[in-house]
Amino acid sequence: MLMTKVFARWGCLGLSGLLLALLAACGGGDIVAGDPDVFQRSHPLGSGNGPIAAVALAKAPAPMVRVVEATSFLDWAERAHPELFPLPQANQTVDVWTYRYYAATDIYLGVNLSGDVLGLVGNHSGAYNAFPLGKVDSYGCVVFPEDCAAPTIITPPTDTAVLADNPVYFSVVASSGGAVLGYQWRRNGIDIEGATLDHYSIAATTLADNGTTFSVVVSDGSPPDAVSEPVTLTVRDSTTDLNVLLKMGNCSVCHAVDKKLVGPSWNQIVARYHAQPGADVYLAERIRVGGSGVWGAVPMPSSNNLVTTAQATLLARWLVYDLLPLPSTTPPTPSPTGPPTRPYYPRGR
């Protein structure tokens, strides 16, 4: 039955030579070729090195979608290894065995009612060596390979960015032909204990989570599994991240990078106040309490309930000391210190 293992999945390298050596090892006997009584007699065990014995190494149980029965197994053996089982044969039965006999190679291949697989290899002398090949169900993935394909990930998890102390949620949608799926989420490639659903969440992220990667292994109970590509979690500090602060203060409602909206563009503001002593204090106050008459008649609303004094100061220092012109991509980190400040008074409108 090593043939059964060989065709199962790995192919049969050097099969012809091994089989000839195996057949030559069989002694004489008194069994007429094709005699079903062969299954009711005892036979010496065949060499573990022969191609039929090697078949058992290819066993791969399938998910319980379809049951492997004798006919499916024997049909597969004929398709996979016609050099061992030439010319398709009809099933025959004797006692508890369903088997097929191949006269050209003098091989019997059978399955009994208990699911045991047995190969009997002869050399046309009436003697046979026996090769027990395990249980027929253990060949599920080679008989029905379509039942054992890896699950398909339809919607993978995606990169996500959140503010610190906020929750984050990852999910996956997968399919595997109706089989029940299992999930295992990983953090930086390491399994997360208890994370075995089709989603994973963190109730409150921290800055320590920034840059962490997450992936998920999807399994249908037998190999191969499907593994999603790692995705990255970005956690921003709501107290210092300039992009976040601009959104918190609703700044983008009135200001764009290079064109006037309700108020002047960022580039216009930078051009007017860049590096002027005291401008950071002045702009921080305007951000917090609002103002009018400097850039036109439309008043600037207060952001006092949206950002703190420290955050408004950070935004102002970013404009005054660190940008000229303002880039349209991620703003740079502001320098921690700046030149001494003194009261600043704007020049006209």
- Per-residue pLDDT at 210 exceeds 90: yes
Q: Which residue has the higher pLDDT, 341 or 125?
A: 125
Average pLDDT on 123-132 reads 88
* Percent helix, strand and coil across the chain, each to the nearest 5: 30, 20, 50
Q: Which residue has the higher pLDDT, 16 or 111?
A: 111
Domain range summary for the chain, segments of one domain joined by +: 2-146, 149-236, 242-322
Q: What is the pLDDT of residue 349?
A: 29
- The confidence band for 65, taking pLDDT boundaries of 50, 70 and 90, is low
What amino acid is encoded at 98 in this protein? T
Range from 31-45, 78-92, 230-244, 335-349 that averages highest in pLDDT: 78-92
Give bridge partners of residue 173 from the DSSP assignment.
Answer: 155
Q: What is the pLDDT of residue 241?
A: 67
Residue of 277, 243, 249 whose CA lies nearest to 263: 249
Q: What is the pLDDT of residue 115?
A: 93
Tens-digit pLDDT profile for residues 134-184:
899 888 888 888 777 788 999 999 998 887 888 999 999 998 866 789 999
167: buried, middle or exposed (CB in 10 Å: 19+, 13-18, 0-12)? exposed
> Structure tokens of 99?
């088997």
Instruction: State the chain's mean pLDDT as an integer.
Output: 77
Average pLDDT on 204-231 reads 91
Q: What is the pLDDT of residue 62?
A: 60
- The confidence band for 336, taking pLDDT boundaries of 50, 70 and 90, is very low
Sheet of 107-112: strand order equals 92-94, 97-102, 107-112, 116-122, 128-135
> Structure tokens of 247?
């959104």
Across 167-181, 274-288, 292-306, least confident range? 292-306
Residues 6+ apart with CB under 8 A from 343: 278, 281, 282
- Per-residue pLDDT at 322 exceeds 80: no
- The confidence band for 216, taking pLDDT boundaries of 50, 70 and 90, is very high
- The confidence band for 344, taking pLDDT boundaries of 50, 70 and 90, is very low
Residues 6+ apart with CB under 8 A from 4: 52, 55, 56, 58, 73, 77, 109, 117, 119, 133, 139
> Structure tokens of 40?
């009711």
Share of the chain above pLDDT 70, in %: 72
Q: What is the CATH number of domain 149-236?
A: 2.60.40.10
26: buried, middle or exposed (CB in 10 Å: 19+, 13-18, 0-12)? buried
Q: State how far the Cα of 319 lies from the Cα of 270, in Å rounded to an integer.
A: 6
DSSP of 2-27: HHHHIIIII--TTHHHHHHHHHHT--
CATH topology of domain 242-322: Cytochrome Bc1 Complex; Chain D, domain 2 (1.10.760)
149-236 and 242-322 share one CATH topology? no
Average pLDDT on 328-342 reads 40
pTM value is 0.43
Range from 91-100, 159-168, 326-335 that averages highest in pLDDT: 91-100
